[in-house]
Amino acid sequence: MRRRHFLGSATVAAASALLPGIGLAARADAISQRLLPRPLAPGDTVALVSPSSAVSDPLDLQLAREVMEALGLRVVTGAHYAERRGHLAGSDAERAGDLNAAFADPDVAAIVCTRGGSGAARLLPLLDYEAIRGNPKALLGYSDVTALHCAIQARTGLVTFHGPIGTGSWNRFNADQFRRVFFERELMHYENRIEAGDELVPRRNRTRTLVPGQARGRLLGGNLTVLTALAGSPYLPDFDGAILFLEDVSEAPYRVDRMLTTLKLMGVLDRIAGFVFGECTDCDPGDGYGSLTLAQILDDFIVPLGIPAYTGAMIGHIREQFILPVGGEVELDADAGTLRLLAPVFAGG
Tell me: do 118 and 239 sit in the same domain.
Answer: no
Are the CB atoms for 19 and 85 separated by under 8 Å?
no
Q: What is the per-residue pLDDT for 46?
A: 98
Rounded mean pLDDT, 212-237 = 98
Provide the domain limits for residue 261: 189-341
More confident residue, 286 or 145: 145
The pTM (predicted TM-score) of the whole model is 0.90
CATH number at residue 16: 3.40.50.10740
Beta bridge partners of 217: 330
Question: In a 3-state reduction of DSSP, which class is residue 182?
Answer: helix
Tell me: do 242 and 136 sit in the same domain.
Answer: no
Q: What is the per-residue pLDDT for 291?
A: 84
Of 146, 139, 98, 94, nearest to 120 by C-alpha is 146
More confident residue, 308 or 349: 308
CA-based Rg of the chain, rounded to a whole angstrom?
A: 19
User: Could you tell me if residue 346 is inside a domain?
Assistant: no
Q: Return the active site residues.
A: 143, 247, 317
Distance separating alpha carbons of residues 131 and 67, to the nearest angstrom: 28
Percent of residues, the chain, with pLDDT higher than 90? 82
Tell me: do 287 and 202 sit in the same domain.
Answer: yes
What is the distance of C-alpha 71 from the center of its chain? 21
Are the CB atoms for 87 and 117 separated by under 8 Å?
yes
User: Could you tell me if residue 122 is inside a domain?
Assistant: yes
Of 229, 336, 318, nearest to 274 by C-alpha is 336
Q: What is the per-residue pLDDT for 289?
A: 60
Of 169, 173, 177, nearest to 323 by C-alpha is 177
User: Could you tell me if residue 116 is inside a domain?
Assistant: yes
pLDDT in tens, 13-64: 333 333 333 344 444 444 456 899 999 999 999 999 999 999 999 999 999 9
What is the count of structural domains for the chain? 2
Q: How confident is the model at residue 284 (pLDDT cuts 50, 70, 90)?
A: confident
Tell me: do 21 and 93 sit in the same domain.
Answer: yes
Rounded mean pLDDT, 86-103 = 97
Tell me: do 139 and 286 sit in the same domain.
Answer: no
Tell me: do 172 and 36 sit in the same domain.
Answer: yes
Q: What is the per-residue pLDDT for 203?
A: 79
CATH number at residue 300: 3.50.30.60
For residue 192, what are the contacts with CB-CB under 8 A and spacing of at least 6?
205, 206, 207, 312, 313, 314, 337
Tell me: do 206 and 156 sit in the same domain.
Answer: no
Q: How confident is the model at residue 287 (pLDDT cuts 50, 70, 90)?
A: low
User: Could you tell me if residue 348 is inside a domain?
Assistant: no
pLDDT in tens, 128-174: 999 999 999 999 999 999 999 999 999 999 999 999 999 999 999 99
User: Could you tell me if residue 114 is inside a domain?
Assistant: yes
Tell me: do 9 and 76 sit in the same domain.
Answer: yes
Tell me: do 179 and 49 sit in the same domain.
Answer: yes
Tell me: do 317 and 241 sit in the same domain.
Answer: yes
User: Could you tell me if residue 347 is inside a domain?
Assistant: no
Last residue of a domain, one of 152, 183, 214: 183
Distance separating alpha carbons of residues 140 and 109, to the nearest angstrom: 12
Last residue of a domain, one of 148, 183, 218: 183
Beta strands in the chain (DSSP E): 5-6, 45-49, 74-78, 108-113, 138-141, 160-162, 189-191, 208-211, 214-223, 243-249, 274-281, 309-311, 324-326, 329-333, 338-341
Distance separating alpha carbons of residues 88 and 255, to the nearest angstrom: 24
Tell me: do 175 and 204 sit in the same domain.
Answer: no
Last residue of a domain, one of 159, 183, 207: 183
Number of residues that this document lists for the chain: 349
User: Could you tell me if residue 349 is inside a domain?
Assistant: no
Distance separating alpha carbons of residues 240 and 5, to the nearest angstrom: 41
Distance separating alpha carbons of residues 37 and 44, to the nearest angstrom: 14
Distance separating alpha carbons of residues 122 and 243, to the nearest angstrom: 26
| Span between the terminal Cα atoms of the chain, in Å | 32
What is the distance of C-alpha 299 from the center of its chain? 24
User: Could you tell me if residue 119 is inside a domain?
Assistant: yes
Tell me: do 258 and 152 sit in the same domain.
Answer: no
Angle between helices 294-301 and 253-266 in degrees, nearest 10: 10
Query: What mean pLDDT value characterizes the chain?
Result: 90
